[in-house]
């Protein structure tokens, strides 16, 4: 429920039945990070209360009021999480229902009772342990409460990791984009050294397997692709970035609209094909067309041939 699954082949990534150019998800993060305060709303979960609940459960005790409050925080984060790809591909309604039913006062009391029983077992003397008393006590503990503890820790660690992953991935992707122009050519050979210097060594917790995949809907045959399962968002988004970089895909920031776009060639393109914030003669145009128009205008005004032409006409 809290995992990302993606299939990679030939510079493309297949997620939930849809196909994207590799590198698209990294570019999406750069654009969505500040939009509608997406990152800030998700990052609210990295506060001390969330970490504290995980520590409490791991150490064998629980503050019930903080436990319930943490559940409300997670539900607030769920309102913003689907705005960020690929979180929109998760079963968010199921996650919301799980959080709603888990972080309740009743479950908090049940967990406390369970932790108390476990503590009593650990306090038994060695003589009682040797005759099997500890085993009999342990068998009588609330097994369903143990599942509640595991689920609560899993959910809170997931959201705490998401917050940290967002910040780390955004900072490194931004640093890479700012250094792109240092490359002599915009291909894998020249961009990879910059990427390795920026990202360094980051362990990726993931599971990989090989599958068969059609090249397109009309294909009769299938080819080999590798399927990756990610437990962490940063593993997903940086894998997407490096898979894209392998095929010459990399994020660029448009000089007109200031949004990021995914370059898929080695050209020194500085402007995207999105709609420019300014119009030309009252019409919406792309950023590339707007930039070209502005350049021609500036050249014409400073060109002595244009001045002579204007005077004569």
3-14 per-position pLDDT tens digit: 888 998 888 999
Whether residue 297 has pLDDT greater than 50: no
pLDDT of residue 60: 87
Whether residue 16 has pLDDT greater than 60: yes
Rounded CA separation 284/287 (Å):
9
Whether residue 308 has pLDDT greater than 70: no
pLDDT band at 139 (very low <50, low <70, confident <90, very high): low
Query: Is the model more confident about 77 or about 66?
Result: 66
Nearest C-alpha neighbor of 230 from the set 10, 45, 25: 25
pLDDT band at 176 (very low <50, low <70, confident <90, very high): very high
What percent of the chain has pLDDT above 70? 84
Nearest C-alpha neighbor of 259 from the set 274, 238, 239: 274
User: Is 6 in a helix, a strand, or coil?
Assistant: strand
pLDDT tens digit sequence for 259-274: 999 998 878 888 888 8
pLDDT of residue 132: 66
pLDDT of residue 310: 59
pLDDT of residue 296: 45
pLDDT of residue 142: 64
| Pair 95, 78: CB distance under 8 Å | yes
pLDDT band at 163 (very low <50, low <70, confident <90, very high): confident
Average pLDDT, the chain: 83
Angle CA(37)–CA(39)–CA(43) in degrees, nearest 5?
Answer: 115
Alpha helix (H) ranges present in the chain? 24-32, 38-43, 48-59, 64-80, 92-102, 105-122, 126-130, 133-140, 143-178, 188-199, 233-246, 287-302, 304-312
pLDDT band at 131 (very low <50, low <70, confident <90, very high): low
| Pair 275, 222: CB distance under 8 Å | no
Peptide bond into 86 cis (omega under 30): yes
pLDDT of residue 260: 94
pLDDT band at 47 (very low <50, low <70, confident <90, very high): low
pLDDT band at 244 (very low <50, low <70, confident <90, very high): very high
Q: Is the pTM of this model over 0.85?
A: no
Highest mean pLDDT of the ranges 122-126, 183-187, 206-210, 296-300: 183-187
Whether residue 94 has pLDDT greater than 70: yes
pLDDT band at 290 (very low <50, low <70, confident <90, very high): confident
pLDDT of residue 141: 63
Which are the contacts of 41, defined by CB distance < 8 A and separation ≥ 6? 76, 77, 79, 80
Average pLDDT over residues 112-141: 70
Whether residue 298 has pLDDT greater than 50: no
Whether residue 193 has pLDDT greater than 90: yes
Name the one residue in this structure whose structure tokens are 């064998």: 60
143-178 vs 64-80: helix axis angle to the nearest 10?
Answer: 40
């Amino acid at each position: 429920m809290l995992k990302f699954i993606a299939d990679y082949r030939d510079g493309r990534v297949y997620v939930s039945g849809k196909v994207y150019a590799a590198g698209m998800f990294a570019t999406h993060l750069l654009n969505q990070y500040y939009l509608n305060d997406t990152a800030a709303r998700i990052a609210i979960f990295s506060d001390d209360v969330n970490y504290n609940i995980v520590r409490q459960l791991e150490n064998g005790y629980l503050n019930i009021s903080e436990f319930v409050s943490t559940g409300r925080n997670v539900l607030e984060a769920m309102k913003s999480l689907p705005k960020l790809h690929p979180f929109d591909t998760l079963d968010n309604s199921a996650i919301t229902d799980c959080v709603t039913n888990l972080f309740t006062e009743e479950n908090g009391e049940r967990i406390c009772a369970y932790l108390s029983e476990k503590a009593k077992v650990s306090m038994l003397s060695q003589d009682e342990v040797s005759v099997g008393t500890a085993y009999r006590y342990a068998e009588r503990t609330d097994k369903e409460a143990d599942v509640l503890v595991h689920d609560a820790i899993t959910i809170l660690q997931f959201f705490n990791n998401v917050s940290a992953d967002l910040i780390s991935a955004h900072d490194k992707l931004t640093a890479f984009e700012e250094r792109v122009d240092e490359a002599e050519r915009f291909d894998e050979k020249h961009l990879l050294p910059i990427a390795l210097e920026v990202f360094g060594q980051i362990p990726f917790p993931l599971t990989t397997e090989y599958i068969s995949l059609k090249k397109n809907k009309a294909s009769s045959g299938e080819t080999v692709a590798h399927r990756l399962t990610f437990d962490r968002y940063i593993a997903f988004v940086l894998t997407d970035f490096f898979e894209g970089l392998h095929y010459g895909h990399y994020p660029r920031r448009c000089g007109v609209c200031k949004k990021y776009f995914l370059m898929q060639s080695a050209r020194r393109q500085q402007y995207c094909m999105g709609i420019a914030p300014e119009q030309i003669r009252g019409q919406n145009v792309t950023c590339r067309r707007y930039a070209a128009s502005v350049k021609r205008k500036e050249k014409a005004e400073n060109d002595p041939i244009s001045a002579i032409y204007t005077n004569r006409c």
